[in-house]
Chain A
Amino acid sequence: MNSDTSKVRIRQLPTGVPGLDAVLGGGLPEYSFNVIAGAPGCGKTTMAQQILFANATPEAPAIFFTVLGEPPLKVLRYQQQFDFFDSSKVESSVRFVNLSMEVMNQDLEAVLERITKEVENTTPGIVVVDSFRNIVRKADSVEKPEIDMQNFIQRLALFLTSWQATTFLVGEYLLDEMRNNALFTVADGLLWLTQNIERNSMERKLQIMKLRGQASLSGLHTFRITSEGVRVFPRNAGLMERRPEAFDVRRISTGVPTLDEMLGGGIPAGDSVLITGAAGSGKSTLCTQFIAEGAKNGEPGVIVVFEEQPPKYVSRALEMGFDMEATIADKELEVIYLRPLDLSVDETLFAVREAVERIGAKRVVIDSLSGFEIGLSPHAQADFRESVYRLVFALTNIGVTVVNTVEMSSILTDVRLATHDISFLTDDIILQRYVELDGQLQRITGVVKSRRGNHSKELRRYDVSEKGLVIGDALTGYSDILTGFPRQLEARQTANR
């Protein structure tokens, strides 16, 4: 049995990088010796400086050792453009020290001596060496160095940890270089940054390749660099680790009583529902009714819009008698419009999670999955099914009922339920489609699948009125309805049915 004193408690430092603490499993282990690696231009220096400024205080200052590479004045010039760069800390809590001379002389002993001297004089809480790779390169060019690189790294790590500094060595490395590299063996933490460009899109990813002493979130996490600095979007948006809500046996109303009947009494709470239909079939209208019904019953909602601009959504809702703006003002509703193109799933998840948590949402509408896919960067599009799975699972796992829409490309002839074989991700499927009947284009709807089974098998005519969906009687006396061109059955056949 563990008592409070049986194990050392490793303090976790906040990184100051939004989202990174969650990925690290709570923060940076204090006194750890870390490497931030990746190709040039992927944000290593920015991330290191963000961490440095977040933690530097007069009592526990930080030292940023610059080595050959970006001239120190340029580092200061460009990095101060970020919001995290606090000029008032420079020289009081943050010191910039240049090691170029020692490195130029290819003298590892002198480098170590200089770092030791500066650290002993300052007793910093955070030490960054940027770029450590340049030290390695210079040292490698010496035929018989006085101390070898492994020895140097060991001594550096030992010294900095003993001096109670949390250290970051920043360097340009390729993944292939991980093998047989003493640096990665010695390091307690290894943060790997990458950037991928495909067609016109770029996506930056962070991976915690190694972190001693605590469980980090595995996988690749999207990050962006804005004027605020680096922002990480944990791939599960912090939703996966949340404990699932107790199984909710309730059924909740769609806002369309007849559809509730067809579903066997409404949507099972916590389900993922897919509404599939052609353009103009009323998917968004049904979504609005679903959210309005939630607002009426004290169940806050989030609408994630990818195609339509929110004002259009709000205006249609008002015509239906649902004042979205007032509901938004009451913090019972959030409408998130995610800007098209270059989105990552992680960012989408993050935005949805934040909105869900802000208002304690119980109902989420994603309108539409087709728009979601188009908005994703090409890399993310390749993993679209996984993306939808993560998004839907993360939400339903915490008891949120999710309604997704997906648009069928063909008005009449398309009988597929979804373009990306994502129907397996949903508990319930509502089909909306057009049929040609008696020389008229008419709408029919049906429940194709329901997790709890007892749903109606009927196909019913419906209209989209100013007030929403109005579902009529079952369409009887026809066959081949789902082809879009029903055939009228003879009276005898109808009777046998």
Chain B
Amino acid sequence: MPTNESGDTSPSVMQRITALLDAPGTGKTTPQIAEAVFEAMRVRLSAVMGGSGYATLLRRCFVLACRDFPWLAEIKPDVNGSLLGRLDDPTPGLHRDESARGFAAVLTQFATLLSTFIGQDLGDRLLGTVWLDLQDNTEQSGEGNTI
């Protein structure tokens, strides 16, 4: 288990979120799971930072993650930061693990940027609300580790 910035070994909020991407047996593809995760982030975080504020930050994260996962360059969030219907096409034939690592890189960049701007404590608080929403979705669907 990687350690977070505070040095403890408990998973950070974003580590919990990214772990959802690597969940075989859920009946959903990684892009589908990523889409749900990004949508939950958009709904929660654009309420706080505004639609364009969230979209801009997300675009920046894709650019940063592109260095390690060039295929992410094909993915463009809309003006409000929505990725609905935008994750499948650029990644045909991509191995599930590679896909999960790429989206995880974007999410990690997001957490890092958030931490850079407003600190890890506050960043985790905002991401915590996203995590709760994702958990709610999981419980409502009654499918265990599914979102």
Closest residue on chain B to residue A114 by CB atoms: B47
Most chain B CB atoms below 10 A, which of A73, A91, A97, A100? A73
Most chain A CB atoms below 10 A, which of B53, B57, B128? B53
Closest residue on chain A to residue B113 by CB atoms: A73
In the complex where A76-B122, A90-B126 touch, is A97 in contact with B53 (Cβ < 8 A)?
no
Residue B129 lies at the interface, judged by CB distance under 8 Å to chain A = yes
Residue A101 lies at the interface, judged by CB distance under 8 Å to chain B = yes
Residue B94 lies at the interface, judged by CB distance under 8 Å to chain A = no
Residue A219 lies at the interface, judged by CB distance under 8 Å to chain B = no
Residue B137 lies at the interface, judged by CB distance under 8 Å to chain A = no
Cβ–Cβ contact B128 & A91, under 8 A: yes
List of A residues within 8 angstroms of B50 by Cβ: 66, 71-72, 98, 100-101
Q: How far, in Å, is B69 (CB) from chain A's closest CB? A: 25
Residue A96 lies at the interface, judged by CB distance under 8 Å to chain B = yes
Residue B8 lies at the interface, judged by CB distance under 8 Å to chain A = no
Cβ–Cβ contact B53 & A73, under 8 A: yes
Cβ–Cβ contact A91 & B125, under 8 A: yes
Cβ–Cβ contact B119 & A80, under 8 A: yes
How many positions in chain B have a CB within 8 Å of any CB in the partner chain? 18
Closest residue on chain A to residue B80 by CB atoms: A101
Cβ–Cβ contact A87 & B128, under 8 A: no
Residue A77 lies at the interface, judged by CB distance under 8 Å to chain B = yes
How far does the alpha carbon of A381 sit from the alpha carbon of B46 in the complex, in Å?
50
Cβ–Cβ contact A73 & B46, under 8 A: no
Q: How far, in Å, is A355 (CB) from chain B's closest CB? A: 37
Q: How far, in Å, is A97 (CB) from chain B's closest CB? A: 6
How many positions in chain A have a CB within 8 Å of any CB in the partner chain? 19
Cβ–Cβ contact A87 & B48, under 8 A: no
- B22-66 interface mask toward A, CB cutoff 8 Å, 1 = contact, 0 = none? 000000000000000000000000111111110001000000000
Cβ–Cβ contact B126 & A91, under 8 A: yes
- B55-91 interface mask toward A, CB cutoff 8 Å, 1 = contact, 0 = none? 0010000000000000000000000000000000000
Residue B118 lies at the interface, judged by CB distance under 8 Å to chain A = yes
Q: Which of A60-117 contact B (CB under 8 A)?
A: 66, 71-74, 76-77, 80, 87-88, 90-92, 95-98, 100-101
Closest residue on chain B to residue A85 by CB atoms: B122
List of A residues within 8 angstroms of B118 by Cβ: 73, 76-77, 80
Cβ–Cβ contact A72 & B119, under 8 A: no
Cβ–Cβ contact B126 & A72, under 8 A: no
How would you classify the secondary structure of chain B's contact residues: helix, strand, loop or mixed? helix
Cβ–Cβ contact A72 & B125, under 8 A: no
List of B residues within 8 angstroms of A90 by Cβ: 122, 125-126
In the complex where A73-B117, A76-B118, A80-B118 touch, is A98 in contact with B125 (Cβ < 8 A)?
no
- B99-122 interface mask toward A, CB cutoff 8 Å, 1 = contact, 0 = none? 000000000000000000111011
Cβ–Cβ contact A71 & B53, under 8 A: yes
How far does the alpha carbon of A76 sit from the alpha carbon of B116 in the complex, in Å?
12
Q: How far, in Å, is A68 (CB) from chain B's closest CB? A: 9
How far does the alpha carbon of A96 sit from the alpha carbon of B49 in the complex, in Å?
8
Most chain A CB atoms below 10 A, which of B49, B117, B119? B49
Cβ–Cβ contact B48 & A72, under 8 A: yes
List of B residues within 8 angstroms of A96 by Cβ: 48
Cβ–Cβ contact B122 & A87, under 8 A: yes
Q: How far, in Å, is A62 (CB) from chain B's closest CB? A: 14
Q: How far, in Å, is A381 (CB) from chain B's closest CB? A: 42
Cβ–Cβ contact A77 & B47, under 8 A: no
Cβ–Cβ contact B51 & A100, under 8 A: yes
In the complex where A90-B125, A91-B128, A91-B129 touch, is A98 in contact with B119 (Cβ < 8 A)?
no
Q: How far, in Å, is B135 (CB) from chain A's closest CB? A: 15
List of B residues within 8 angstroms of A77 by Cβ: 117-119
How far does the alpha carbon of A406 sit from the alpha carbon of B8 in the complex, in Å?
62
List of A residues within 8 angstroms of B125 by Cβ: 87-88, 90-92
How far does the alpha carbon of A80 sit from the alpha carbon of B126 in the complex, in Å?
14
List of B residues within 8 angstroms of A92 by Cβ: 125
Q: How far, in Å, is A295 (CB) from chain B's closest CB? A: 49
How far does the alpha carbon of A283 sit from the alpha carbon of B121 in the complex, in Å?
56
Cβ–Cβ contact A98 & B122, under 8 A: no
How far does the alpha carbon of A88 sit from the alpha carbon of B128 in the complex, in Å?
12
How far does the alpha carbon of A97 sit from the alpha carbon of B50 in the complex, in Å?
8
Cβ–Cβ contact A87 & B119, under 8 A: yes
- The 8 Å CB contact of A97, one of B47, B51, B57, B126, is B47
- A43-74 interface mask toward B, CB cutoff 8 Å, 1 = contact, 0 = none? 00000000000000000000000100001111
29 pairs of residues in contact across A and B, judged by CB atoms under 8 Å: A66-B50, A72-B48, A72-B53, A73-B53, A73-B57, A73-B117, A73-B118, A74-B117, A76-B117, A77-B119, A80-B118, A80-B119, A87-B122, A87-B125, A88-B121, A90-B122, A91-B125, A91-B129, A95-B48, A96-B48, A97-B48, A98-B48, A98-B50, A98-B51, A98-B53, A100-B51, A100-B52, A100-B53, A101-B51
- In the complex, the 5 A-B pairs of residues with the closest C-beta atoms, listed nearest first: A98-B50, A100-B50, A76-B118, A72-B49, A87-B121
Q: Taking A77-B117, A88-B125 as given, write out 16 further A-B residue pairs in contact, using a Cβ cutoff of 8 Å, ordered by the A residue number.
A: A72-B50, A73-B57, A74-B117, A77-B118, A80-B119, A87-B122, A90-B125, A90-B126, A91-B126, A91-B129, A92-B125, A96-B48, A97-B47, A98-B47, A98-B53, A101-B52
